[in-house]
Structure 1
Amino acid sequence: MRSFLRVGAAVCGGLLLGSGASALNVRVLVAAAPQLTVRVAAPAPAPGALNVPGAPGAAPLPVQAWTVGVSGAQLTLNGQPTGNASLYLPPSPGSVVEIAGKAYRGGVQLRAEAGGVQGINVVDLEDYLRGVVPAEMPASWPSAAVQAQAVIARTYVTARINPATPYDTCATETCQVYGGIAAEKPLADAAIAATRAQVVAFGGKAASTYFSSDSGGFTASSGEVWGKDLPYLVAKADPFSAGSPRARWQLEVPLSRVQQAAGNAGVRVGALRSVTVTRVSESGRPLEITFVGASGTGKLTGASAGGFVRALGASGTRVTLAGLNPLVLSGSGSGHGVGLSQYGALGLANAGYSHLHVLGFYYPGTQLATLTGDAGPARPALSVQAALPVPPLAQVWGAQPDGSGQ
């Protein structure tokens, strides 16, 4: 990706470094369409700030508003060819850009891709979090829970910064939900500021801080869900995950839909006669589902078993199965169950624990680290501080935060 940055900033891969502490920029894919409308809010860019990469003496693009389309493999600007496949308006202090009708802090990278235009918001990491944290967790929750969400959101995107790719992350649930300026909340801003630069680390690198809404009382290991074991993403009892709207639920699925979902998963046994869980994981999630049909027997194991459950419309995979027409799913929790449980974070915060205890409980064996001003050629650099604290077992099972049990 080619781009121009303002004079006075040093570019290091995906990092924009000023004097003193580093300012880490994140590239977020926020829109993709045959054409995009982009508006510069305030302040307006300095003359010449928006240029066509690689074009000597290129004139600045019009300020205020323009429509970007594609002709062949090149971008067009208000219907006129630019001769280039990429345009870049760099972020500046206080800058705001509107992309496809939504306002974002920072700047924008525009790319021709597959016959359309990609709108990529280029934004300071801490400003990016302002549009993420309240979109992923209610800002009104206790500060310890919101602070934990801020740290894992920061860690999640830090681990994905990769200058070799067109963008680092996206704005949907596929990555992290990012709502831009419209999503910002003062209480979330306070949690982000209180944890500024903090990340969860393992082995000197940003950890994979997966999270879900509600573990259903028992977190899942990364191995059982995705087939890749990580030592800090383990199956463990989670007594603080309670009180969510999906703590206990039941779903009835008609046989026709079960048959379709089984077929989509590659099960070819003819007309189904039974669907049963024949092996469960340590977390109580189906590890093997056996299908008996008119023409034989088939099995789904590991992540495929969980995928089948989700394909039936279940909110989570910690389920039992009964019957056949309908197939009755009785479950607890919502989401994949790996890593932090948001309702568990709420429970720990309500019990008086800090955000560091929340992180230590859900990512055991990890350390607290901070982003530093020194950046390597491709990845943000971390300064590891200390092991994250874990609430004592007695406390986790219902004693008071001081360990007295009284």
Structure 2
Amino acid sequence: MGDRRPQGRLGWLTALLVLSATAPAQAALQLRVAIEDGVSQVQVGTSSAAVVRDAAGRQVGQLKAMDGLVAGSQGGQVTLGGLKSGQLWVEPQAGGYVWIGDRWYRGRALLSPKGGGVLAVNYVDLDEYLYSVVGSEMPTNWPLEALKSQAVAARSYALHKRSKVGNAQYDLGDTTRWQVYKGITAETTSTQTAVVQTAGQVLTYNGAIIEAVFHSSSGGHTENVEDVWSSPLPYLRGVADYDQYAPVFQWQETFSAAQMRQRITGVGNILAMTPIALTPNGRVRQMKVVGDAGQRTLSGDELRSALGLRSSLFQVSPSGGAGSGAKSTVPATFVVQGRGFGHGLGMSQWGAYGLASQGYGYQQILGHYYQNAGLAQIQVTP
């Protein structure tokens, strides 16, 4: 890798970060993860016998093992079978799992009415949550050091989001808008090992847990955060990536003239697409789209969404339908050539795979992708 090799700048902070847990003290820090939010109804069950409690903690019912019920709302209260209350806790006994929607989860569930529907929140121990997130976000057969990098990044990201955007009802969601959480189906021995061997470790800057964003593949070089989003952050700096193993390192999509007209509206038949602002590494920030009925300026993210592209690191080449004299004809096709998958900020997962495959440890991997950050050990207090 020559002089582009990561230097492993990640150091240990001497101080402990002390977090206050809002969940009951019988467990380590619990996260509240919204699994279903405002849906008309959701199926709920447990793998073992379960106790159902109201908001005051009073037992109001029981569930038999593997006996699923439909939760909904009525008159501003949540319903579950024949039970009805302002809120209902579903608590599996004897180490059982809870079924919410279409998956099994560790921990317990809180059902609340919301917007004429029901909100189902999984209360789960932080590390048990991470068992699933690591396997939901990264292939479980990847090198352990890559999985450990993902565990630390995901733990940091979850706690940062919890402190910044968590609300009165939940801390996180379970989709790519947050980080993917698929319950116990995504767990394996390797993901559990990665979480256990990095227990309590988070990435910090100036004593605060960082927003440890990550993505699949940058296409060769990650970005400075201010070139993609908004304000600069000292730990989200562009660095050389090692994602050449990624199947999405390079990609190509071809669109017909009709497809482009349908996906990018308001300009008629598209004649030309010209970038007017790029990041230092070539991601599209703004693109001028010229058609036979007008023109628009779109952001790279808007184009990525409209065309269903893997990233905003792309170039567009029209083909066929060349101009004739002063009159331009509509190109027959548009070939989009791009690299990478995702926003290109923070840790590249395929880059972590590449570095781990070459013998680098998770501390070196994290130190490369999160410049100026340090590792700290959290201490949870009830």
Identify the residue that residue 202 of structure 2 maps to in structure 1.
Answer: 199
Matches within 5 A, 1:303-382: 304-323=299-318, 324-374=331-381
Residue by residue over 1:288-347, the C-alpha shift from the partner in whole angstroms, topping out at 9 and shown as x without a partner, is 2122233554423xxx22321342121122111211542211111111111111110011
Matches within 5 A, 1:94-133: 94-133=95-134
Superposition RMSD in Å: 2.4
Does the 8 Å contact 1:40/1:98 carry over to 2? yes
Identify the residue that residue 7 of structure 2 maps to in structure 1.
Answer: none
2:285 maps to amino acid: L
Does the 8 Å contact 2:161/2:211 carry over to 1? no
Does the 8 Å contact 2:45/2:63 carry over to 1? no
2:279 maps to amino acid: S
Distance 1:294 1:132, change over 3 A: same
Counterpart of 1:17 (choices 25, 30, 36) is: 25
2: CA distance, partners of 1:350 / 1:151: 18
2: CA distance, partners of 1:202 / 1:15: 26
1:37 matched to 2:35? The reply is no
Shift of 1:220: 2.2
Matches within 5 A, 1:7-406: 14-18=22-26, 23-32=28-37, 33-42=39-48, 44-45=49-50, 50-54=52-56, 59-64=60-65, 65=67, 66-78=69-81, 80=82, 82=84, 84-89=85-90, 94-161=95-162, 164-238=167-241, 240-263=242-265, 268-294=266-292, 296-300=294-298, 304-323=299-318, 324-374=331-381
Gaps of 5+ in 1: 1-11, 376-406
Shift of 1:221: 2.7
Distance 1:87 1:285, change over 3 A: same
Task: Give secondary structure in 1 for the equivalent of 2:109.
Answer: strand
2: CA distance, partners of 1:157 / 1:277: 35
**How many residues align structurally?**
347
Distance 1:97 1:298, change over 3 A: closer
Shift of 1:91: 7.3
Task: Give secondary structure in 2 for the equivalent of 1:237.
Answer: coil
Shift of 1:90: 5.1
Task: Give secondary structure in 2 for the equivalent of 1:219.
Answer: coil
Does the 8 Å contact 1:214/1:344 carry over to 2? yes
1:127 maps to amino acid: E
**TM-score, with length taken from structure 1:** 0.78
2: CA distance, partners of 1:372 / 1:13: 10
Q: Which has the higher contact order (CA 8 A, sep 6+)?
A: 2
Gaps of 5+ in 2: 1-19, 319-330
Does the 8 Å contact 1:14/1:26 carry over to 2? no
Residue by residue over 1:30-70, the C-alpha shift from the partner in whole angstroms, topping out at 9 and shown as x without a partner, is 2353222322223x34xxx5322249x66334444333221
Task: Give secondary structure in 1 for the equivalent of 2:73.
Answer: strand
1:17 maps to amino acid: A
Does the 8 Å contact 1:92/1:106 carry over to 2? no
Does the 8 Å contact 2:310/2:341 carry over to 1? yes
Shift of 1:270: 4.7
Identity of aligned residues (%): 32
Shift of 1:16: 3.3
Shift of 1:71: 1.1
